[in-house]
Structure 1
Amino acid sequence: MRGQFSDERSFGFGWIADEPAFLQRASYALVDAGGVWLVDPVDVDGLDERVRAAGEPAGVLQLIDRHGRDGTTLARRYGVPIHQALAGGAPEAPFEFFRSVDLPLWREAALWWPERRTLVVGDALGTASYFLAPGERLGVHPLLRMLPPRSLARFEPEHVLCGHGAGVHGVDVATALQEALRSSRRRTPKWLVGLIRNAVGR
Structure 2
Amino acid sequence: MPTFERGEADEYEVVDRWADGVSWQAFPDETGERTSHAIRCADGVWLIDPLDAPGVADCYADLGEVAGVAVLADYHARDAAAFAERHGVPVTVPTGLDRVVERVDAPTERVTHSLAGFELRRLNPLRAWRETVAYRERDGTLYVPDFLSSGSLYTVGGERLSMTTLSRLFPPRETFADLDPERVLLGHGPGVHEDASAALSDAVDGARRRFPRALLTQAPRELKAMVDAVR
TM-score band by shorter chain is 0.7 to 0.9
Matched, 1:30 2:39: yes
What is the TM-score of this pair, normalised by structure 2?
A: 0.77
Q: Is the 8 A contact 1:61 1:89 kept in 2?
A: no
Distance 1:92 1:164, change over 3 A: closer
Question: In the alignment, is residue 62 of structure 1 matched against residue 90 of structure 2?
Answer: no
Match of residue 141, structure 1, among 164, 167, 175: 164
2:35–2:186 CA contact under 8 A, matched in 1:
yes
1:109 maps to amino acid: T
Aligned partner (choices 81, 86, 101) of residue 77 of structure 1: 86
Distance (Å, rounded) in 1 between the aligned partners of 2:88 and 2:23? 21
Paired with 1:122 and 1:145, the residues of 2 have a C-alpha distance of 17
The superposition leaves residues 23-48 of structure 1 with CA deviations (integer Å, 9 ceiling, x where unpaired) of 00011100124711011111122212
Q: Secondary structure at the match of 1:136?
A: coil
Conserved 8 A contact 1:161-1:168: yes
- How many residues were matched structurally? 197
- Per the normalisation by structure 1, the TM-score is 0.88
Q: Secondary structure at the match of 1:30?
A: strand
Contact 2:113 2:121 in 1 (8 A): no
Kept in 2, the 8 Å contact 1:100–1:152? The answer is: no
Alpha-carbon distance change, 79 to 32 in structure 1, aligned in 2, over 3 angstroms: same
**Residue of structure 2 equivalent to 1:156:** 180
- Does the C-alpha gap of structure 1 residues 85 and 112 become closer, same or farther in structure 2, counting only changes over 3 Å? same
Q: Aligned-residue CA RMSD in angstroms?
A: 2.3
Higher helix share: 1
Displacement of 1:129: 0.8
What's the CA shift for 1:70?
A: 0.5
In structure 1, C-alpha distance between the alignment counterparts of 2:211 and 2:26, rounded to whole Å: 28
Instruction: Sort the Cα spacing of 1:177 and 1:30 in 2 relative to 1 into closer, same or farther, 3 A.
Output: same
Amino acid at match of 2:206: S
Change (3 A) 1:57 1:143: farther
Structure 2: give runs of 5+ residues left out of the alignment.
1-8, 96-109, 222-231
Percentage of pairs with the same residue:
38
Structure 1 residues 72 and 92, CA, compared in 2 at 3 Å: closer, same or farther? same
How many angstroms apart in 2 are the aligned matches of 1:7 and 1:30? 11
